[in-house]
Chain A
Amino acid sequence: MRRFAWLPVAVLLALVLASAIATVWARHESRVEFGALTTLRHQRDQLNVEFGRLELEQATWAEPSRVETVARGKLGMIDPPADAIGMIRP
């Protein structure tokens, strides 16, 4: 019986060692994941920025004054005079 007296101690020692390594591993893993998260956040911000820029660009192209210039100048469109408008009875 006394021959295996060291066993519990050894097991506990091994467990402590394993948990220590696991802690280190988890810590490392968390840092890696955090790095990935940071990258993704950065990407999200970049995409938001680009979206804002595209929104601005779209708004600039669709600006009513520009639409009017194109419609009247390039496409030769006109406001129909009142006497050319007929109402369809509902």
Chain B
Amino acid sequence: MTPHPRQPRGPSIRMRLYAVALLLGLASFGLAVRAVDLQVVRRGFLQEQGQARFLRTVPIPVSRGSIFDRNGEPLAVSTPVESIWANPGVLLQHAERLPQLARALGIDAAELAASLRKRASRSFVYLQRQLAPAAAAEIMALDIPGVNEKREYKRYYPSGAVAAHVLGFTNIDDKGQAGLELAFDAALSGKPGAQRVIRDRRGRVVENVDMVEQPQPSRDLTLSIDRRIQYLAWRDLEHTVQEHGAASGSLVVMDVRSGEILAMVDQPGYNPNNINASEPGQRRNRAVTDVMEPGSVMKPFTIATALESGKWTPTTPVDTRPGTLRLDGHVIHDTRNHGLLDVTSVLTKSSNVGASKISLTLSASHMYDVLRRFGFGATSGSGFPGESAGVLPPPNTWSELRKATISYGYGVSVTALQLARAYAAIGNGGVLHTPTFIKGGGDAGVAVIDPQIADELVRMLETVVSPEGTALKAAIANYSVAGKTGTSHIASGGGYSNRYVSVFVGLAPGNDPRLVTVAVVKDPTRGSYYGGLVAAPLFAHVTAGALRLLDVPPDNVQHWYVGAPDNGMPIDAGGDAPDYAPDNDNYKEGAMP
């Protein structure tokens, strides 16, 4: 090594080179380690953290489907509303804005502050729910930190109380709580989905990364209900219930041929747009959930059993003298001594003694079987939530007395819907359909009785709506009507009270039934309580309107129009059914237990 004139002190140049190389090596190594650490070891964590800063999973909301009537008129529609919510922690840091916020919300500032402080540990508190979008926009325009809005849906029922019992209602989260809203909740609500998106700094979605969960779109529901008939039924039932001071009432109109329910109304009613103002008792769909002892409207099924047994024909004589029948120490009454009747006029006059005498020749198991075939003692399969099955005791428990009372409608309980269904089968040539609330939802039906017997029953029931029968007031101009009245005592506390259920079930037009209407009025306290005077006129009003709305051709025209083309004159015809004469008390019926 040659000495250098200006060799510096300290480590040699080589040493310094080594040192630099070492430092550089260490630095590179450090970088490599760091790189491996970041890229390999902590990769998952870091990627997650990075994505958490711009990747977002956002829900894809699905709004609740609408409900339409059979003609496409909306019955229930969800529209968006805004709910205002706050993050109390953030909001309380800006307490000076609270009075302004309270004013906008229309509440007391001190109260607002107190309630926020109580919930300070939470990060989500509703301030006001379901505001109109415009009102919410005003509050959001104040731009108060910690105050946000959230879109929700509110259900509106344009028909209000008219269709309330059938449709049911939803809760504040737009979930079905009762009625068809509950029965078809799954289809109506759909299922919200979720997707992963990339959001930019301003919160705008810039890229759709992938679908986390496919949303299931909600479905609209088209009901078999006809809004116009529903309204007619509602208006007339309300009027009848008020006029007679009744406790409650139900009315069902059903298409005989398909089992589609065209109208179903109940009294008392409620406003589905303001649920909180009503009692639970007002919201019950009584036509489906409430049972009653139907009384004389069950007699046609006794007669059906009698005809089926082959022991009776419509003209077989039945001696109802002297208007009472003693059985097991119990006396069955008619309203008066009807004398010698035949099977048809047992229905016309609604004779309890006649029905009892006929039932005594029939076996309990046969009567039970016929009632079961017509759908009594079982839910109808309509799918309506809370539907009652009624009560039909098994035949081995029937004594002779019970068999007799069941023959005229005591000792069994039925719903209005069950009655509609069973009578529809009579009017439909003995084919029983499952009632449905969905347009086109009718099933093929089951034959429950010989078509000839069904036809005979309709002919016999037509005599009820005549000057000799109990239901002259069920007559409809230009149409023939087949039907049956019922007036039954309401059972209470082990016995029967002096309160009544007034029922009429009718088929129209009589020659080829299209509609069955069940009218039930419970506990009428003013005026009459007989089915022929309370429920029958109600039936006639509603059915007449329904026949007209559905363009059903008349089958019993009183007066053909034969006028000259110059006509503008009123046509004179004796269309309306004559009223009861003062001494005519045909409408009287019902048991005297």
Contact = CB atoms under 8 A, between A and B. Distances in A.
B559 A65 contact: no
Interface of A: 30-31, 34-35, 38, 49, 52-53, 55-56, 59-60, 62-65, 68, 81-89
Contacts of A64: 162, 227-228, 231-232
A86 B77 CA distance: 41
B561 A87 contact: yes
Interface in B523-576: 554, 557-563, 570-576
B156 A84 contact: no
A65 B239 CA distance: 14
Interface of B: 66, 73-74, 77-80, 156, 158-160, 162, 204-208, 227-228, 231-232, 235, 477-478, 554, 557-563, 570-576
B78 A82 contact: no
7 contacts: A31-B207, A34-B208, A64-B232, A65-B235, A82-B558, A85-B573, A86-B561
Contact of A52 (B78, B231, B559): B78
B537 to A, nearest CB: 14
A-B complex: 5 closest residue pairs judged by Cβ atoms: A82-B575, A86-B561, A82-B477, A59-B158, A64-B231
B79 A34 contact: no
Contact of A49 (B80, B477, B571): B80
A81 B559 CA distance: 13
Given A49-B80, A81-B576, A34 B563 contact: no
Contacts of B562: 89
B79 A56 contact: yes
Contact of A56 (B74, B478, B559): B74
B573 A35 contact: no
Contacts of B228: 64
B141 to A, nearest CB: 19
Contacts of A52: 66, 77-79
A31 B477 CA distance: 70
A88 B554 CA distance: 11
Contacts of A85: 477-478, 559, 571, 573, 575
In this complex, the member of B66, B227, B563, B575 whose beta carbon has the largest number of chain A beta carbons within 10 angstroms is: B575
B560 A55 contact: no
A61 B307 CA distance: 52
A34 B208 CA distance: 8
Nearest to A88: B561
A59 B74 contact: yes
A34 B561 contact: no
A87 B554 contact: yes
Contacts of B156: 56
